[in-house]
Amino acid sequence: MLKELLLQFIVSLIPIFAFQLFYDKAGSWKRIPVFMCFFCGLSMLLCMLTASNVLGYEADFRLIPYLIGALYGGWPTLAFLSGLYIVLRIPMLDSVWEMVSFGLFLAIFIPLILLAVRQFQRDSAEHKRKKALLIMTGMMLYYLISMKGYITVNGEQWTSELFLTLFLSTIVTLMAIWLSIFKIESVQEKMLLYDEVKRISINYRNEVEKLQQFIDETSFGVIFVDGEGKITHFNEIAKSLLSLQPKYKEAKELLGTPFPLVFVNEEGDTCVNMLYQALNGERSSHLPLVNGEKMLLLTSFSLRMSLSEQNSGAALIAQDVTELRHLQDEVGRMERLSLVGQMAASITHEIRNPMAVIRGFVQLIQERSPENQEEYFRIVIEELDRANMIISDFLSLAQNRVLVMELSSLHEVIHELVPLLHADANLRGQQLEVSLCEQMPLIMMNDREIKQLFLNIARNGMEAMGNKGSLHISTRHAGSKVELRIADEGIGIPPEQMKHLFEPFFSTKTQGTGLGLPLCLSIAERHNGRIDVESQEGNGTVFIVTFFLPEDQAS
């Protein structure tokens, strides 16, 4: 009898042994119903084929795989196993009592299991074991009551061997149920833990890749070393900024190398000292480093474990601040120039008054002087007027007053000044050609300044042509831009002079002040515009004044 019980016990656990192998490979619950239908059905069949005969009553462990399969496989598995159980059991029913008992079993326990399945699959492992043991206990009690009725109906007698067999069968059945639940939940817990570790590993790898991409793409030079001083990260920017041993051609060749071996020169000594300080526990340090025209800002800090605060390495970040230093120097220079300009503007105001007095007395003396000295007085007055013109242009360039602007038409400004330019052109023997676009939007402008800009550039073009040639004036509107083009047929501007055109006091004319074009550029910039120059020696010059329209006017 004990051998038969042991055989039944092993056969009833076939689904559990198979489950461990299956779930390790499948790694999910998606195919559990199919698995339970097959292996629990097989286990039920083998249990019934190896059943013991106790006083003519079939005794086996078929209920173990039946219950386990139904609880874990859900209602599809319950329906399949119940159908299989009915098909296998009906031919074995020898009496009316067995038929009635079997029918009542199905009527009671199939609905009970069906009600328990959904909640069972959401319960914890402990609750699952308790619920399965409770259902199996109910089944065993029903089985014992049914068997007692069978023995009574058939006039059999209870024996100690029969009692011992039933007792052992009950204990082994409950133990098999507990063991089955325990093993299934253990496998599931192990796989859930494996999935969680896998997920964390993937997330960790993704974060490491993001960090590496950030290190590779950032504009800073980045060096990471571990607690032993070996390099773990080194990007190409750091290689280009810092002085390294010539044998290291690429940044990846530095990985795993002790950091004191990779640097050269005094700059390298500074980097090594800063990394040593960080490895010794200093949290952060900053140091500017100048090497010729290049200026770096070095930052080092220690890397610590988040939980133990133990020092696990160090980092060095190198930032190229050369351009920033140049910008700071330029800002300082502009501030000094602005101060000088303000002082000069104040001084020139005071100079104009005595110059006006001098001019008046020179004219008075001229009237009382002999005619042979007339030429000298003319030269003095012309030079005084030229000095006054320089002062006026300088004041226009240096002043920073608020302009009063209003929506106006660039074409109206051009039409007002064209007659004046025609008169100048006729005196010089030149031609004036005007070609204006049909649709020209209104722009925010100060009429007086735009007229000054237009006349300055146009007259410069006329002076560049001498006593012949044509001056071409045209406009164009495209999208968010309005262009004024003034083209002459003069001698052109040499390339070496082009870059100095808008510098104050630079002039290609013998009598020029060098303030006209800087003043025009200042006017254009105050009107949200710019001036471009195209010129070829011998083919003339084109000045292109571009005004940028607001978004609501662009079309």
The CATH architecture assigned to 332-398 reads Orthogonal Bundle (1.10)
From residue 45, alpha-carbon distances to 52, 60, 181, 379, 383 in Å are 14, 11, 21, 131, 126
Could you tell me which CATH class the domain 406-548 is placed in?
alpha beta
Give the type of residue at 170. Answer: T
Report d(CA 449, CA 409) in Å as an integer.
14
Q: What are the boundaries of each domain within the chain?
A: 2-195, 218-320, 332-398, 406-548
Q: What is the DSSP letter of 85?
A: H
> 2 pLDDT band (50/70/90 cuts)?
low
Q: In the predicted model, what is the mean pLDDT of residues 491-517?
A: 74
Sign of the torsion formed by the C-alpha atoms of 18, 24, 28 and 31: negative
Distances (CA, A) of 7 to 14, 169, 184: 11, 12, 21
Percent of the chain whose predicted confidence (pLDDT) is above 90: 7
Cα torsion at 303, 305, 310, 312 (round to 10°)? -50
Mean pLDDT on 168-189: 83
Q: What is the pLDDT of residues 205-230, one digit of tens each?
A: 888 788 778 877 787 888 888 888 88
List b or e across 144-176, with b for residues whose CB sees 16 or more CB atoms inside 10 angstroms. eebbeebbeeeeeeeeeebeebbeebbebbbeb
Lowest mean pLDDT of 170-179, 463-472, 475-484, 501-510, name the range.
Answer: 501-510
Rounded distance, CA 413 to CA 484, Å?
12
Contact predicate 81/69, CB 8 Å: yes
Mean pLDDT score of the chain: 80
Alpha-carbon distances of 422 from 38, 168, 429, 444, rounded to whole Å: 106, 127, 10, 27
The residue type found at 33 is P
Dihedral sign computed on CA atoms, order 101, 103, 105, 107: negative
pLDDT single digits (tens) 36-53: 888 888 888 888 887 766
Given 3.30.450.20, 3.90.550.10, 3.90.1150.10, 3.90.190.10, which CATH number is that of 218-320? 3.30.450.20
Average pLDDT over residues 470-493: 90
Least confident among 375-379, 409-413, 509-513, 544-548: 509-513
Which of the residue ranges 165-169, 189-193, 368-372, 538-542 has the most confident prediction, judged by mean pLDDT?
Answer: 538-542
Is residue 545 within 8 A of residue 453, CB to CB? The reply is: yes
pLDDT band of residue 472 (cuts 50, 70, 90) is: very high
Task: For residues 108-113, give the mean pLDDT.
Answer: 86
How much is the pLDDT for 342? 64
Residue 129 has pLDDT above 80, yes or no: yes
Q: pLDDT value at position 27?
A: 47
pLDDT class of 337 with cuts at 50, 70, 90: low
**Tokens 């101060």 identify what position?**
339
pLDDT at 527 over 80: yes
The arithmetic mean of pLDDT across residues 429-436, rounded, is: 90
pLDDT (tens digit, 9 = 90+) per residue, 263-314?
A: 887 667 888 888 888 888 777 777 777 766 678 888 888 888 766 667 788 8
